[in-house]
């Protein structure tokens, strides 16, 4: 421990005896022992916390490295057919970020301003924008 052998330890104890004196030496030894025990407790607690965090990290790594579940063949088939058909039951987001329902069959939209489309001139043309 710290490269201190028996001869060095004896020298340290002799110096401590001379500096502190024989009356206070036992009290100093007790307080030194308490300090060493407290230091060991803190070191053990720190070691346990680090090991726990490393274990959590390894657990997270295993979860992230695990392969993602694959779609079943039926789910894949349904997704492909819905995509190919442009499923009208689904909604999509417009460029502005608001949800917009896909266009339904003709005539199911909101009524046009100024009357029905059939009553307007040029019913086959797209509607003109309204003036502000």
Is 20:28 a contact under the CB 8 Å cutoff?
Answer: yes
**What angle, 0 to 180 degrees and rounded to 10, lies between the N-to-C axes of helices 6-20 and 25-65?**
130
User: What are the C-alpha distances in Å from 11 to residues 14, 15, 16, 33, 104?
Assistant: 5, 6, 9, 19, 96
- The tokens describing 109, both together, are 């939209």
pLDDT tens sequence across 46-78: 999 999 998 888 888 888 877 767 767 888 888
Which of the 8 DSSP states describes residue 99? E
User: What are the C-alpha distances in Å from 35 to residues 9, 16, 31, 41, 126?
Assistant: 18, 17, 6, 10, 88
Least reliable range by pLDDT among 79-83, 108-112, 114-118? 114-118
Which of the 8 DSSP states describes residue 93? E
Reported as a pLDDT band with limits 50, 70 and 90, residue 40 is very high
- The tokens describing 27, both together, are 């009290």
Is 120:114 a contact under the CB 8 Å cutoff?
Answer: yes
Least reliable range by pLDDT among 7-11, 19-23, 74-78, 97-101? 97-101
């Amino acid at each position: 421990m710290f490269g201190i052998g028996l001869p060095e330890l004896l020298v340290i104890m002799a110096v401590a005896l001379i500096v502190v004196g024989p009356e206070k030496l036992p009290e100093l030894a007790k307080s030194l022992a308490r300090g060493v025990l407290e230091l060991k407790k803190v070191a053990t607690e720190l070691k346990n916390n680090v090991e726990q965090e490393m274990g959590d990290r390894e657990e997270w790594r295993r979860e992230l490295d695990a392969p993602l579940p694959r779609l079943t063949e039926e789910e894949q088939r349904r997704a492909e057919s819905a995509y190919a058909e442009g499923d009208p039951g689904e909604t999509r987001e417009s460029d502005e970020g608001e949800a917009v329902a896909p266009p339904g069959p003709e005539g199911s939209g909101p009524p046009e301003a100024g009357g029905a489309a059939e009553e307007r001139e040029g019913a086959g043309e797209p509607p003109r924008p309204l003036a502000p």
